[in-house]
Amino acid sequence: MASAQLRAVTCTAPVNIAVIKYWGKRDEELILPINSSLSVTLHQDQLKTTTTAAISKAFTEDRIWLNGREEDVTQPRLQACLREIRRLAKKQKSAGGEDPLTPSYKVHVASVNNFPTAAGLASSAAGYACLAYALARVYGVDDDLSEVARRGSGSACRSLYGGFVEWQMGQQADGKDSVARQVAPESHWPELRVLILVVSAEKKQTGSTVGMQTSVDTSALLRFRAEKVVPARMAEMVRCVKERDFPAFGQLTMKDSNQFHATCLDTFPPISYLNDTSRRVMQLVHRFNSHHGQTKVAYSFDAGPNAVIFTLDHTVPEFLAAVKHSFPPEANGDPFLKGLPVTPAPLSDALKAALAMEPSPGAIKYVIATQAGPGPQTLDNPQEHLLGPDGLPK
């Protein structure tokens, strides 16, 4: 409690990266997907959203600040999340739930990301998962939050859990069975590592919402993918995760990423989220694997040019050396590697020859090294609130 009049809760939530992709909705308002998806939750030590939600009898309107700037609180998706949380709070209150504060109180929300937003790094997923989680805590809602988070951003429901998470598309028209479920916790595959190669931190040209709708309307390949390809891939990916079968996991991850981007090209007019550097990273990964005679590294690209690389911990030093060789860092004083420390490794002449790539200096801005991590957390220290006792950003 920040004061007798105000109740504040601060939470953090993670980014997730889909290895079986979600692209396309069958219901735009409820945000119901045309296919199931499966993701890896990334560790919050490296990538997270932090959100403070505060409610007070004194507040006269709902307000929200994102990364220090006040935003329009009437955005439909934001309103959908607020409505759903308040509905659940009222339902719980009428059922005798322990909630001393009325669901009708207005809320102030402040949220910050520690990574670039709208650059294809799943900022909306972390943001809406964090919003749903913080609102539920502040309004005293104890319920499955899949639907609340999903109404903000489809993939946000996957960020409600740590480790490896499945978003079941569901069949019901009301979306009650379109929920996220944990396949395995983050502790299940401790050797798995994730490298995010930040190609561009700029806002993408075609937003995911618009891109998806255009694909659903115009891509025959997308419909074929959803109906004929994804169900078998979901089952196979669950097996790969449970058995920690990295070669099969890596190959399937790359194939699914490639097919997702193929559906974007099959969209009319075509959408392209990848750029020349993205394609060179793909080439680097395939040549690295070919040199070793096995799948040691895998790429995945969401709706943006940044590469997400999956590998095992013992491969990280050599692959990072290959990245630095192919994309020499700019000498601007900024650290090229962020996140988990990596012991430098030399690049063998044989691997250099196998890569056969002309260096592209500065094409990769920096690399974030991370691993699978837990779901949303509540911060107990009031000093960490983003809002002051007056309900305004500190």
How much is the pLDDT for 337? 95
Identify whether 338 is part of a domain. yes
216 & 104 share domain: no
**Under a CB-based contact definition with an 8 Å cutoff, are residues 55 and 107 in contact?**
yes
Query: Which residue range(s) make up the domain with 169?
Result: 6-185+380-384
Q: Are residues 180 and 198 in the same domain?
A: no
| Whether residue 206 has pLDDT greater than 60 | yes
Model pLDDT, residue 194: 98
Q: With beta carbons less than 8 A apart as the criterion, state whether 24 and 34 touch.
A: yes
pLDDT at residue 73, rounded to an integer:
96
Tokens read off for 273: 């989220």
Domain tally, the chain:
2
Residues 24 and 119 in one domain: yes
Predicted local distance difference test score (pLDDT) of residue 115: 76
Structure token digits, residue 291: 């040199």
Q: Is the peptide bond before 359 cis (omega within 30 degrees of 0)?
A: no
Same domain, 172 and 221: no
pLDDT given for residue 165 in this prediction: 98
Kindly report the average pLDDT of the chain as a whole number: 93
Q: Between the CA of residue 315 and those of 126, 191, 344, what are the distances in Å? A: 28, 10, 11
Q: What is the mean pLDDT of residues 372-385?
A: 97
Burial 196-214 (b: 16+ CB within 10 A, else e): bbbbbbeebebebbebbeb
Per-residue pLDDT of 152-198, as tens digits, reads 999 999 999 999 999 999 999 999 999 999 999 999 999 999 999 99
Q: Is residue 389 part of a domain?
A: no
pLDDT tens column, 108-147: 999 999 876 645 566 889 999 999 999 999 999 999 999 9
Amino acid 117: pLDDT: 60
CA distance 104 to 154: 26
Please tell me which residue, 114 or 55, carries the higher pLDDT value. 55
Q: What percent of the chain has pLDDT over 70?
A: 95
Question: Distances in Å between the alpha carbon of 180 and those of 126, 149, 313?
Answer: 14, 10, 28
pLDDT score of 5 = 82
Pair (210, 76) in one structural domain: no
Stated pTM of the model: 0.94
CATH code at 221? Answer: 3.30.70.890
- For a pLDDT cut of 90, what percent of the chain falls above it? 88
Question: What local confidence, expressed as pLDDT, does residue 94 receive?
Answer: 75
Q: Judge if 221 and 332 occupy the same domain.
A: yes
At CA 16, angle to CA 241 and CA 187, rounded to 5?
A: 45
Give the pLDDT band (50/70/90) at residue 8.
very high
* H or E element, residue 218: helix 208-218
Q: Do 59 and 180 have their domain in common?
A: yes
Quickly state the pLDDT bin for 102 (edges 50, 70, 90).
confident
Residues 235-257: what's their mean pLDDT? 98
Domain identity same for 352 and 245: yes
Q: What pLDDT is attached to residue 2? A: 44
Domain with residue 118: its CATH number is 3.30.230.10
Residue 225 has pLDDT above 70, yes or no: yes
Predicted pLDDT at 32: 97
Look at residue 391 and tell me if it is in a domain: no
Instruction: Tell me how far CA of residue 367 lies from CA of 67, 197, 199, 342, in angstroms.
Output: 22, 5, 9, 11
Strand partners, 41: 16
The H-assigned helical ranges of 244-348 are 246-266, 276-292, 316-326
Query: pLDDT-derived band of residue 70, with 50, 70 and 90 as boundaries?
Result: very high
Per-residue confidence at 1, pLDDT binned at 50, 70, 90? very low
Q: What is the pLDDT of residue 201?
A: 64
Of 39, 32, 248, 50, nearest in space to 131 by CA: 50
pLDDT of residue 366: 92
Write down the pLDDT at residue 193: 98
User: Is residue 1 in some structural domain?
Assistant: no
Q: Is 106 exposed, middle or buried (0-12, 13-18, 19+ CB in 10 A)?
A: middle
Asked if residue 197 and residue 179 are part of one domain, the reply reads: no
- What tens digit of pLDDT does each residue of 317-373 get? 999 999 999 999 988 778 999 999 999 999 999 999 999 999 999 999 999 999 999
